[in-house]
Amino acid sequence: MSTFSQRIKNLRDSKGWSKSKTAQMLGVSAQRYSNWEYDLHEPDYEMLNQIAALFETTTDYLTGKSDNPSSESTAKDGTALTWSDLDMPMPYGGKLPDELKSTYADIAKGYFKRHPEMLNKDE
């Protein structure tokens, strides 16, 4: 059994979800989801991201690149990372896809935690 199949099984079990319920939440057939747990097939990249979001973890954890299941990235001072920490321009032309809103909210919360002086600041 691959790391991926073992981890999604463990995460599903920890949530108390059936394979059918998990498949339904992902918008796939129960057979397709079962094939991932039985290590018969692997999801595509887009679905891997959806699985990570559903289980509130990272793709690195699911694929065995990390042993940390936490989906919260932290900077050296323990606060969440910002775009400037990542040295990246704002993706998606500034239009945020619904499935990423919680990720961006976490980034914003981390920023304001690190820079409380910016809250309620007049322009």
At 24, which CATH number? 1.10.260.40
In order of 107, 110, 114, 120, 121, the CA distances from 117 in angstroms are 16, 13, 9, 8, 7
Q: What is the mean pLDDT of residues 38-67?
A: 91
Give me the residues paired with residue 80 across strands.
Answer: 74
Give mean pLDDT, residues 40-67: 91
Same domain, residue pair 59 and 7? yes
Label residue 11 by pLDDT band (50, 70, 90). Answer: very high
Do 10 and 58 have their domain in common? yes
Q: What pLDDT score was predicted for residue 92? A: 59
Do 111 and 88 share a structural domain?
yes
Q: Is 22 exposed, middle or buried (0-12, 13-18, 19+ CB in 10 A)?
A: buried
pTM listed for this prediction: 0.59
Expressed as residue numbers, the domain containing 87 is: 72-123
